[in-house]
Amino acid sequence: MFLVERGQNGLTARELAQMLGAPRTSVADLLRVLENKGFVAPTAEGHGWRLDFRVAQLGNAYLHEFSVREVGRAAMRELSRRTGLTTQMAVLDHSDIVYIERQDSSRRLGEPHVITDIGSRLPAYCTSLGKAMLAFLPDDEIDRLYGAGQLLSRTKNTITTVARLKSELAAIRRRGYAVDLEETTEGVVCIGSPILGADGRAEAAISVAGLRAGLASSEIETLGRTVARTASQVSSARGGARTVPKRPRTHARPRSHALGRRRRVRGAA
């Protein structure tokens, strides 16, 4: 995990030994084994170590285990086509979300869009994907994950107390979708809904993401219902529960241009 955080810059055996609190000779032995198996390799200048190709193979094997990802891909592609927005799927890993799938909208070159790297992590409490999944956990699990402490603020809109988080999770359960209104990244709005299993717990969640400019509250609600319907379709295809009861159909369609045309932004949630 230390090497993941450093990327191509890597770390030396001495640095790794200090970070791990392990003897340098033991770390050097482990690095040699990992190098022989293709998991690590020397950095370009030869003074440190970085991840190698075998890690990518592990990641792909892990992703293939998520049949929800395979089932949801077509639905995400259609959702992206209908809304003109990036769609994403994530799973819950303790108090974080991990992105496992993304479908980009078919925008012309140069038009703004939101990007998120598959495999990247974000705190669940400030993302629409995370809140959508947290909403279907028992209260005692929320307490175990967050206790009674303050939640780290990422923007001025981030929820920073567990009490307020629980209040929002209750609202998400009622309406079937969660909203990240610039809570993770300024200028970015994400709307997510959970994919529920037969036991009513969230297996994953999907979201749409785009830029805040020009988005009205009524459009957020319309997008929320659209995302919730899509998530429920994926849940049903896997034999799971619906996120919310069926609602009357609405003739309003999300505007593909509603989120404005500004810049390319990383950090959709």
With a threshold of 0.85, does the pTM exceed it? no
Picking from 189, 178, 179, 180, the residue whose alpha carbon sits closest to that of residue 114 is 189
- CATH label of the domain that carries residue 28: 1.10.10.10
Q: What is the mean pLDDT of residues 14-30?
A: 93
The residue type at 179: V
Mean pLDDT of 78-105: 91
Whole-number Cα distances in Å, 85 to 89, 106, 209, 218, 249: 13, 8, 6, 17, 21
Domain that holds residue 236: 66-266
Q: If you average pLDDT over residues 105-127, what whole number do you get?
A: 73
Q: In total, how many domains does the chain have?
A: 2
The mean pLDDT of the chain is: 84
Q: In the chain, what percentage of residues exceed pLDDT 90?
A: 54
Q: Are residues 207 and 239 in the same domain?
A: yes
**Domain limit, last residue, from 20, 38, 60:** 60
pLDDT value of residue 63: 62
Q: Is the pLDDT of residue 79 over 80?
A: yes
Q: How confident is the model at residue 147 (pLDDT cuts 50, 70, 90)?
A: confident
* Percentage with pLDDT > 70 across the chain: 83
Mind listing the pLDDT tens digit for each residue in 197-251?
A: 888 889 999 999 988 886 777 889 999 999 999 999 998 887 777 766 444 444 4
* CATH assignment at residue 124: 3.30.450.40
One domain, residues 74 and 55: no
